[in-house]
Copies of this chain bind each other. A is one copy, B any other.
């Protein structure tokens, strides 16, 4: 044992390069004012010694960690997985790292997780939706940490947010089915506690039907979590307790695919006997047979933009408060003219030709 092999510090690098600690520090950080020769020598010495900066020391002195935190619902959900992935990538490209925490739609767990991230000194935070404990918001305010709300927009424009209007998108789906002549609806909703996205989607359906004077009795609404199995069971329950519906709206694609599989198992023809719609447009939606009518949620773009926006704000650049991404209705094979639909509202004779275009993208952004 020669000397106890502790990893080299910046001071060691400086000594090896024959410069002061300060110069070494400048040479290592990109944009400082250092002589070219000095920079080269320092960098070379650092490389040779296998020097790795000490993040904590750097953070303590500079008061920033080049780290962004994110508190997400379970990553098992494909949309959050792809969002996380895109977020991590956007940050990495800028030399930032993602600190990740997740929770099971449990607000107090979310607060604890966020607290852990804040203690770690994250420079910014990414949250999902607007459902949070006041304590969390207070912590963020006191710590002065910039944050982004994702997947949702903030109508009040108080928070920085990048996402979509789940309610409007959901109304679009409902209207699509109404236009196909459906009058007997059933709904599979997700867990709505601590999940404003699911709540908005449900209220979009309910209110649209109400406006159209189409009833949605309580027995035609069931709640299940976001899994294929839950989708199957939900349809099963609906068929048992209130059969006779011709249109089924699910809170997300995973549930809808479960419903489609259950239909296949029961020889229920889709869309002849039953139309099924989802939400998210995961890869499987366009690959299933029948292909699934759904709303395209740009998860990866949400993740990417959240990262970019946060980085821009940290750099002092202006960004618009709330950014709404398009969430177009994607009409596919799983929805069609109502079987026993009474009076199809519009051109009930023609829609077959429309449906012949499976992957047609109908971006019905409300005209305004």
Min CB distance A310 to B, Å, is: 16
Cα distance A101–B97 in the bound complex, in angstroms: 7
A328 at the interface (CB under 8 A from B): no
Bound Cα distance from A115 to B54, whole angstroms = 11
Is there contact, CB below 8 Å, between B75 and A97?
A: no
Pick from B57, B100, B118, B283: contact of A98, CB below 8 A: B100
| Bound CA–CA A116/B68 (angstroms) | 13
Interface residue? A65 (CB, 8 A):
yes
Q: A228 touches which one: B7, B120, B283 (CB < 8 A)?
A: B283
User: How far apart sit A178 and B41, CA to CA, in the bound complex (Å)?
Assistant: 63
Q: How far is the CB of A196 from chain B (nearest CB, A)?
A: 22
A264 contacts chain B at the CB level, 8 A cutoff: yes
Stretch from A19-27, A124-132, A135-143, A312-320 that touches the partner: A135-143
Is A224's CB within 8 Å of the partner chain B?
no
Residue A121 lies at the interface, judged by CB distance under 8 Å to chain B = yes
B-chain residues with CB within 8 Å of residue A218 when the two chains form the complex: none
A56, A74, A84 pick with most chain B CB within 10 angstroms: A56
A347 an interface residue at 8 Å Cβ cutoff? no
| Cross-chain contact of A284 among B57, B113, B119, B284 (Cβ < 8 A) | B284
State the CA gap A116–B337 with chains docked (Å). 55
* Interface pair A56/B52, CB less than 8 Å apart: no
For the complex formed, measure the closest distance between the CB of A332 and the CB atoms of chain B, giving whole angstroms: 14
For A65, what are the chain B residues with a Cβ–Cβ distance below 8 Å? Answer: 56, 120
Say yes or no for A166: interface residue by CB 8 A criterion: no
A89 CA / B116 CA spacing, docked (Å): 13
Write out the residue numbers on chain B whose beta carbons fall within 8 Å of the beta carbon of A100.
84, 88, 98-100
- Report if A121-B284 is in contact (Cβ < 8 Å); known contacts: A75-B75, A289-B261: no
4 A-B pairs with least C-beta separation: A56-B59, A81-B81, A100-B100, A75-B81
Not counting A7-B144, A265-B289, a sample of 12 additional A-B residue pairs whose C-beta atoms are within 8 angstroms of each other reads A52-B118, A55-B121, A56-B57, A67-B99, A67-B120, A75-B85, A76-B78, A76-B85, A97-B99, A227-B283, A229-B287, A261-B287
> Can you list 16 pairs linking A and B with CB atoms under 8 Å apart?
A7-B143, A50-B139, A52-B119, A54-B119, A55-B56, A55-B59, A55-B119, A56-B57, A67-B120, A75-B84, A76-B78, A76-B81, A85-B102, A92-B101, A99-B100, A229-B283
